[in-house]
Amino acid sequence: MEKPKNTHGGAGRGQGRKPLQDGAESVIYPIRLTPAQREKVTRLGGAPWIRARIDKAREPGDTK
């Protein structure tokens, strides 16, 4: 008797977290927030909002 082909399990295409838009490598940087701060960050746009703010921020000593 022939075993039926198993169609469950294994790697699936398109699974997992998608890369950032520009395809850049990313790293995890955990921070602590109060529940109110986390809710506010979520309302403001979450991680994309935080990344945009970091990119806009001037470096210390930058006189532009």
Longest dimension (CA), the chain: 78
Q: Which amino acid is at 23?
A: G
Q: Are 33 and 41 in contact (CB under 8 A)?
A: yes
Cα atoms found within 13 Å of the Cα of residue 16, Cβ hemisphere only: 5
Q: Which amino acid is at 17?
A: R
More confident residue, 50 or 4: 50
Average pLDDT in the 35-53 region? 97
Give the tokens for residue 16. Answer: 């997992």
Q: Is the pLDDT of residue 64 over 70?
A: no
In this prediction, residue 62 carries a pLDDT of: 83
